[in-house]
Structure 1
Amino acid sequence: MSDQLAPTGPGGGPAGGTAGYAEAADALAVQYEEVTFDEVHRDVLHLVPAGPGRILDVGAGTGRDAAALAARGHGVVAVEPTKELRAHGERIHVHSGVEWVDDLLPDLRLSRHPGRFDAVFVTAVWMHLDAGERRRAMARIAALLVPGGRFFVNLRHGPVPDGRRMFAVSADETVELGAAYGLRVVHRSERADLHGRGGVRWSSLVFRADDVTGPAADGRA
């Protein structure tokens, strides 16, 4: 499916991937916390690392998933570029032990958190990246995974809210892109929107880092 840029930002230019989130942070904090980690990721719970590990949650929002993963005994780094959402997350999940970071894809520098992770979660983020950014992001994520590590990604399909920058991206394209960077798909499913939004559906993909010796090894596309 080809990229289709939906709503633009002020002046007619494309809105950034975080456009619209700061203004709506209070309402989004309620929306995000209305559903649980287990509900959102119900089809892939069996693939979440069981033992204590190191997990990265990119686009963590209010930290719902990050806190749930920390409660399972994992060390969790939560990446969220919108300070208003980070503030809600630090308030709601104050005792979770989650480490919060102001960063974002595709480059994801993580200067204070070097090293690799046993799992990377990217939930409701991938559609904010254009084709070039998705390629860079996939390379970066592959480079961040330990051998055998897992990449969990949820893709949003359907109408784009006003003021948001989103692109049409298919599960097929994402699977193909992951393979180019040594990530093998081990799960693929689809579901309706948990909030009942008409026309919105989600693809859930899980990849395994079986081969990180290719272009992903140094993070270059």
Structure 2
Amino acid sequence: MTLPPTRWELAGERNRGYGETFADRVARGLDVDGEARFLDAMLARGSRVLDVGSGMGRVAAALQARGHDVVATEPDPDLRGQSLATYPGLEVLPHQALALDPAEVGTFDLVALVGNVMVYLGEGTERAVLERVRDLLAPEGRAAVGFHLTPVKAGSRSYPAEEFVADAEAAGLRVVHRFGSYELHEADDEYAVWVLVRA
């Protein structure tokens, strides 16, 4: 199956600063676990987690260190290489979301698409990705999605809250929570963190 290029791919070199920024933060011992703490609070110990668009691996590695069974997937070869160098115990699949087959990878207690994954998807694939997320959820599973609502990063799209909710509902998902940050701030018009379940 031929998949459309993601906005991340099309942005190319304009996004190289992402990996460098987090590599510097990790090297300096700064806190890079905000998303992982949020996700971990939703999970029983030893839960099965899928981190879609795992980037340089910091969220997946933090969840793995907290005792979860984590599958990470990142299509960008440079970020996969950085992940391997930084977290050698974390295996990272080279797939984008639509290449994940539930028959092959199974289902998950939590599917995470954090760090602006949704606003870097291939054009017009948002609903299809959300449908795939639905199919990857265990019966009582949840999805956590976080992204900037306006395009503040190179190559990203604007994704208004009402459009995301409509796409999620059309994909067979239901919003159960919306926050303004991974520290559970009140919802705002800049960043949104969503918790979804099967409708």
| Same fold by TM-score greater than 0.5 | yes
Greater RCO, CA 8 A, separation 6+: 1
TM bin, normalised by shorter chain, reads 0.7 to 0.9
2:144 corresponds, among 138, 144, 152, to 152
SS in structure 2 opposite 1:17? helix
Shift of 1:68: 1.1
Q: Which residue of 2 aligns with 1:63?
A: 57
Relative distance call for 1:168 and 1:25 in structure 2 (3 A) is: closer
2:32 corresponds, among 24, 33, 36, to 36
The within-5 A match list for 1:173-188 is 173-188=163-178
- Could you tell me how far apart the structure 1 residues matched to 2:77 and 2:25 are? 16
Contact 1:57 1:79 in 2 (8 A): yes
Contact 1:25 1:85 in 2 (8 A): no
1:206 to 2:195 alignment: yes
Structure having the higher helix fraction is 2
Gap runs ≥5 in structure 2: 183-188
Q: Which residue of 2 aligns with 1:114?
A: 105
- Could you tell me how far apart the structure 2 residues matched to 1:204 and 1:50 are? 20
- Could you tell me how far apart the structure 2 residues matched to 1:62 and 1:129 are? 17
Gap runs ≥5 in structure 1: 1-13, 193-199, 212-221
Relative distance call for 1:151 and 1:187 in structure 2 (3 A) is: same
Shift of 1:178: 1.8
1:143 to 2:143 alignment: no
TM-score normalized by the length of structure 2: 0.78
1:17 to 2:32 alignment: no
What CA RMSD, in Å, does the superposition of the two structures yield over aligned residues? Answer: 2.9
What is the number of equivalent residue pairs in this alignment? Answer: 183
1:78 to 2:58 alignment: no
TM-score normalized by the length of structure 1: 0.71
SS in structure 2 opposite 1:20? helix
Percent identical residues: 32
Shift of 1:176: 2.5
